[in-house]
Amino acid sequence: MKAADPRLRRVIGKAVASWGEQTARTRARFLDFAWGRAALRARKADALARLPGLLEEFERQAAARGTRVHWAQDAAEARAIVLEVARRSGARTAVKSKSMVTEEIGLNAFLEEHGIRPVETDLGEFIVQLRGEPPSHIVTPAMHLTREDIGRTFHERLGVPEGGSPEELTAAARAALRTGFRASDLGITGANFLVAETGMIAITENEGNARLVTALPRVHVALAGIEKVIATLDELALFLPMLAVSGTGQQLTAYNTLIGGPRAADEADGPEECHVVLLDNGRTRLLADADARETLHCIRCGACLNACPVFRAVGGHAYGTTYQGPIGSVITPHLRASEGFGHLPSASTLCGACNEVCPVGIDLQRQLLRGRRSRARAGGLERLLLRLWAFAAGSERRWRAALALARWLPLRPRASRRDLPQVAPESFRTWWRKRERP
Amino acid sequence: MRIGLFVPCFVDALCPRAGIATVRLLERLGHEVRFAAGAVCCGQPAFNAGHWDLARPVAETCIAALDAVEADAIVCPSGSCAAFLRSHLAELLPDDPRAAAVAAKTFELGELLARRLALTDVGARFPARVVWHDACHALRALGLHDEPRRLLAAVRGLELVEAPGGAECCGFGGVFAVTHADVSTAIGEERAAALERTGADVIASSDPTCLMQLAGLLARRGWRGRALHLAEILAET
């Protein structure tokens, strides 16, 4: 992994600084944020401990409201389910609200291959889709772009005059999105929470686009990881503000929607058909591993990305994953076990800033250390060097010999942008010995 | 008090002055310092990289020596190593009864002074403008934020300043500094620049590794200040 160029680092730094100020302000309004974190951690732990039962309850309750629940073992099954729903709806265009699970399963490319045009309606997602890029952040997809970058993209792709104001750019996006909405018979969303007791899905957003996506098209399909289920509706009273504070520094996001199934006979709007796809895709592997299970607590707020000095230095795209930053580095090696993401946990200074901001109390530092253990078995140069170090540090006599050798060898490590420390002419222990026996 | 001294491997080899200043300070305060010469390294480099099997014998040698020194408390002039002994030793050596005892009486220097010895003014004089860099493990694993600041604020002639934006990592990260040299440098440049902008003559911290990283970066920027361990300031009279 390489550092991003200074320009990109500045862009990310600015976005994160503004997040930091907002979050600090709204966090301070909690009587006891730490209590909230402990409470959410307990709720998630409890929900995961009885996950199969809660999912079945969700399915029962959702079915009672007329929602069809589908179970997908992996990405391919989930894609096939969505395609089947899309084909039966006859949709040629699908409008989408922001969903990282659809990124995880590569849904957009798949739909395009099958003649269905996906239109991202979250502004950030819309921008990265225009550019043919994946999101660079799980909450702020276009974090890596400046207003000028976006202006250029809109100029090239939408014919907006160059140097447009934010208002002009937003108006252009709005016009393009309205066309998409009018043409679409299928709305695709994620879900922030699945409420087992009521069979509802909760979506939290700021642009109102998810409301349109779930209200306008004839068919709505929501995709969610199985870990998104919570037991009761009450719990949202804590989950929603904790998510908003950590994600964007808002007390609550502008729109919080509970979706309870297709339009009822006495209702004026809403889709005719509602589907929920419950995705495993490696999550039961995490669930089965008692030590790694807490990573399923994640509510995808993105705070650990923002807090991470490595994320800010490399940018989201450098990870090559759907989920970036510390949480991505600990879950991706499990979710995509065969694809060689085992190096990611090593890309951390272990500074612990992620632990400090996580609203559900995931011990990310510990998870990063665990991830390194699985990787360490492979060996390689790192292990060889550490083996030499362990031999030298294994006794004082060997350590003294190693220091003497290091001074004698013409080893003067160099780096292009920083001076590296050199072995001191006299070690502490030599100083001490001389002092004791002058 | 009989205070055992653990000088970890990189302090011994690369930054011995932090250990020397620790000895001078504690002796000036009237304590008996007992250097645990047999304790070479806590094992953290291999542990953090995931090679627990390599870390174990190193940690065993370390706690055997720290245990044998027979002290009321053990001090370590590195927050990271002290935090490692406190947080991870029991996990690395679950069957070693000495692990918990050693971990419980090991302190980072500022922590020992402020918490164990309940000191604020150690009688130091150091006329300079000093910015404190929070080392991540001292700050987050040991919870040391106000303690070093109070100790420095009591030093005669010392003006303590804060870097804007609060605590940020220096980018060192142990093995990370080698395996991800480019990212480590990029993170460090950001932090070094923020510290430099405070106009301080001295960057002080509880961790020699952070100081070496920051000093190494600032040297390339032509910075004329000094990066000093907390002990080096508190030892001055």
- Tell me which chain B residues have a C-beta less than 8 angstroms from the C-beta of A3: 182-183, 185-187
Is A355 within 8 Å of B140 when comparing Cβ atoms? yes
- The pLDDT, as a whole number, for residue B229 is 98
- The pLDDT, as a whole number, for residue B193 is 95
- The pLDDT, as a whole number, for residue A25 is 96
Inside any domain, residue A290? no
Same domain? B165 vs B103: no
- Mutate which: A12, A405, A417, vs B, most B CBs within 10 A: A417
Judge whether residue A246 has pLDDT over 80: yes
Give the model's confidence band at A374: pLDDT under 50 very low, under 70 low, under 90 confident, else very high: confident
Average pLDDT of span A30-38: 95
Is B168 within 8 Å of A309 when comparing Cβ atoms? yes
Judge whether residue A215 has pLDDT over 80: yes
- Mutate which: A418, A420, A431, vs B, most B CBs within 10 A: A418
- Which DSSP letter does residue A275 get? E
Q: How many Cα atoms are found within 13 Å in the side-chain-facing hemisphere of A79?
A: 17
Q: What are the C-alpha distances in Å from B120 to residues A20, A77, A163, A243, B83?
A: 32, 64, 58, 40, 22
- The pLDDT, as a whole number, for residue B108 is 98
Is B179 within 8 Å of A346 when comparing Cβ atoms? yes
Last residue of a domain, one of A263, A284, A305: A284
Judge whether residue A413 has pLDDT over 90: no
Separation CA A189–CA A192 (nearest Å): 10
A364 close to A327: Cβ distance less than 8 angstroms = yes
- Tell me which chain A residues have a C-beta less than 8 angstroms from the C-beta of B190: 9, 13, 309, 313
Last residue of a domain, one of A233, A266, A284: A284
Same domain? B112 vs B150: no
- The pLDDT, as a whole number, for residue B206 is 97
More confident residue, A412 or A40: A40
Average pLDDT of span A39-53: 97
Judge whether residue A368 has pLDDT over 80: yes
- The pLDDT, as a whole number, for residue A54 is 98
Last residue of a domain, one of A284, A309, A332: A284
Same domain? A98 vs A217: yes
Contacts (Cβ under 8 Å, ≥6 apart) of A7: none
Give the model's confidence band at A414: pLDDT under 50 very low, under 70 low, under 90 confident, else very high: confident
Q: Which residues pair with A274 in a beta bridge?
A: A67, A220
Inside any domain, residue A385? no
- The pLDDT, as a whole number, for residue A262 is 96
Is A309 within 8 Å of B219 when comparing Cβ atoms? no
A140 close to A124: Cβ distance less than 8 angstroms = yes
Give the model's confidence band at A375: pLDDT under 50 very low, under 70 low, under 90 confident, else very high: confident
Short-list A219, A222, A208, CA closest to A270: A219
Same domain? B200 vs B219: yes
- Tell me which chain A residues have a C-beta less than 8 angstroms from the C-beta of B51: 376, 383, 386, 390
Overall domain count for chain B: 2
Same domain? B23 vs B94: yes
Same domain? B172 vs B196: yes
Separation CA A132–CA A11 (nearest Å): 20
Judge whether residue A412 has pLDDT over 80: no
Judge whether residue A408 has pLDDT over 90: no
Segments of chain B with pLDDT less than 50: none
B101 to chain A, closest Cα gap in Å: 21
3-state secondary structure of A243: helix
Same domain? B158 vs B107: no
3-state secondary structure of B227: strand
Is A351 within 8 Å of B61 when comparing Cβ atoms? no
A182 to chain B, closest Cα gap in Å: 46
Phi-psi region of B166 (alpha: psi -120 to 50; beta: other; left: phi over 0): left
Is residue A287 within a helix (H) or strand (E), and if so which, with residue range? Answer: helix A283-288
Same domain? B134 vs B108: no
Is A417 within 8 Å of B217 when comparing Cβ atoms? yes
Structure token digits, residue A436: 């004791």
Same domain? B32 vs B72: yes
- The pLDDT, as a whole number, for residue A163 is 85
Residue in chain A nearest B59 by alpha carbon: A394
Last residue of a domain, one of B116, B133, B166: B116
- Mutate which: B26, B34, B40, vs A, most A CBs within 10 A: B40
Inside any domain, residue A307? no
- Which DSSP letter does residue A281 get? T
Is A386 within 8 Å of B51 when comparing Cβ atoms? yes
Residue B100: give its domain's CATH number. 3.40.50
* CB nearest to A390's CB, from B23, B54, B220: B54
B171 to chain A, closest Cα gap in Å: 6
Same domain? B109 vs B165: no
Judge whether residue A376 has pLDDT over 80: no
Inside any domain, residue A323? no
Same domain? B81 vs B129: no
Inside any domain, residue A376? no
Residue-wise pLDDT for A139-165, tens only, equals 999 999 999 999 999 999 999 998 889
Is A393 within 8 Å of B180 when comparing Cβ atoms? no
- The pLDDT, as a whole number, for residue A35 is 96
Average pLDDT of span A266-277: 93
Inside any domain, residue A96? yes
Pure H helices in chain B: 9-14, 16-28, 44-48, 52-68, 79-92, 97-104, 109-111, 136, 146-153, 176-179, 181-196, 208-220, 230-234
- Tell me which chain A residues have a C-beta less than 8 angstroms from the C-beta of B7: 428-429
Q: What is the domain extent for residue B14? A: 2-116
Q: How many Cα atoms are found within 13 Å in the side-chain-facing hemisphere of A275?
A: 23
> What does the angle CA A111 – CA A117 – CA A122 come to, to the nearest 5 degrees?
100
B51 close to B22: Cβ distance less than 8 angstroms = no
Residue in chain B nearest A354 by alpha carbon: B140
A114-118, A124-128, A166-170, B16-20: least confidently modelled range: A166-170
Judge whether residue A410 has pLDDT over 90: no
- The pLDDT, as a whole number, for residue A222 is 98
Q: What is the domain extent for residue A409? A: 394-436
Is A309 within 8 Å of B169 when comparing Cβ atoms? yes
- The pLDDT, as a whole number, for residue B200 is 97
Q: How many contacts, defined by CB atoms under 8 Å, are there between A and B?
A: 183
Same domain? A44 vs A165: yes
Residue-wise pLDDT for A288-339, tens only, equals 999 999 999 999 999 999 999 999 999 999 999 999 999 999 999 999 988 8
Residue A275: give its domain's CATH number. 3.40.50.10420
Separation CA B73–CA B92 (nearest Å): 22
A48-52, A161-165, A344-348, B198-202: least confidently modelled range: A161-165
Last residue of a domain, one of B116, B143, B177: B116
Q: How many CB atoms lie within 10 A of CB A74?
A: 12
A331 close to A79: Cβ distance less than 8 angstroms = no
Inside any domain, residue A353? no
Same domain? B73 vs B138: no
Inside any domain, residue A339? no
Residue in chain A nearest B215 by alpha carbon: A419
Q: What are the C-alpha distances in Å from B134 to residues A71, A351, B156, B205, B232?
A: 48, 11, 21, 6, 16
Give the model's confidence band at A93: pLDDT under 50 very low, under 70 low, under 90 confident, else very high: very high
